[in-house]
């Protein structure tokens, strides 16, 4: 699962500026995080839960699908970090969140933990609050596949 799916979910749920949502913490200095950035950390592996395929003979289309699960750490920075985390955790259980997840193919998103990193490491600089969230996404692709109505078999014999 790419970080972009989770970034779109966070953006749409919080109605947040997409320029303030970033992947991981690559090439950012600590000063950058005085701003109210939200960082989507994708360091956990994706686990494939299911896969399958179905064929629609009338439309001659093969559908390939899979469901995978991944844990994300969403890192909230800046002066509004506490407010953004609280809004996210409360709105995550709303009907609005369910509608957004449905549109993006997310089948489950549950907040598993929340960590105040600043307090944990005893820092006096900047706010950083991490939320760990488990997400499942379903993907499917349709491929035009012609069916064989009558098999044609040719035998070749060596003489």
Whether the Cβ atoms of residue 39 and residue 24 lie closer than 8 Å to each other: yes
Q: Is the pLDDT of residue 108 over 90?
A: no
Tell me the C-alpha to C-alpha distance, in Å, between residue 131 and each of 53, 56, 65, 119, 152: 35, 42, 29, 14, 59
Q: Which residues pair with 72 in a beta bridge?
A: 133
What are 46-72's pLDDT values in tens digits? 899 999 999 988 899 999 999 889 888
Residue boundaries of the structural domains of the chain: 3-49+70-135
What is residue 154's three-state secondary structure? coil
DSSP summary character for residue 76: E
Higher pLDDT, 43 or 124: 43
What are 127-154's pLDDT values in tens digits? 889 999 988 888 889 999 887 777 778 8
Q: Return the top range by mean pLDDT from 1-5, 32-36, 85-89.
A: 85-89
52, two tokens: 């399958």
Positive or negative, the Cα torsion across 19, 21, 24, 27? positive
pLDDT at 125: 64
The 3-class SS string of 86-146 reads: HHHHHHCCCHHHHHHHHHHCEEEEEEEEEEEHHHHHCCCCCCEEEEEEEEEEEEEEEEECC
pTM of the model: 0.76
**Average pLDDT of the chain to the nearest whole number:** 85
User: Which residues have a Cβ under 8 Å from the Cβ of 71 and sit 6 or more positions away?
Assistant: 44, 112, 132, 133, 134, 135
């Amino acid at each position: 699962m790419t970080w972009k799916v989770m970034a779109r979910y966070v953006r749409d749920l919080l109605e947040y500026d997409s320029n303030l949502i970033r992947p991981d913490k690559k090439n950012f200095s600590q000063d950058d995080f005085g701003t109210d950035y939200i960082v989507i950390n994708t360091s956990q592996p994706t686990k494939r839960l299911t896969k399958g395929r179905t064929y629609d003979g009338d439309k001659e289309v093969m559908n390939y699908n899979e469901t995978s699960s991944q844990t994300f750490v969403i890192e909230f920075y800046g002066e509004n970090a506490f407010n953004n985390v609280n809004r996210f955790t409360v709105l995550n259980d709303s009907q609005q969140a369910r509608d957004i997840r449905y549109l993006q193919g997310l089948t489950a998103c549950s907040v598993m933990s929340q960590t105040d990193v600043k307090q944990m490491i005893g820092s006096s600089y900047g706010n950083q609050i991490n939320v760990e969230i488990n997400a499942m996404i379903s993907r499917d692709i349709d491929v035009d596949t012609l069916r064989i109505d009558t098999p044609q078999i040719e035998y070749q014999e060596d003489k």
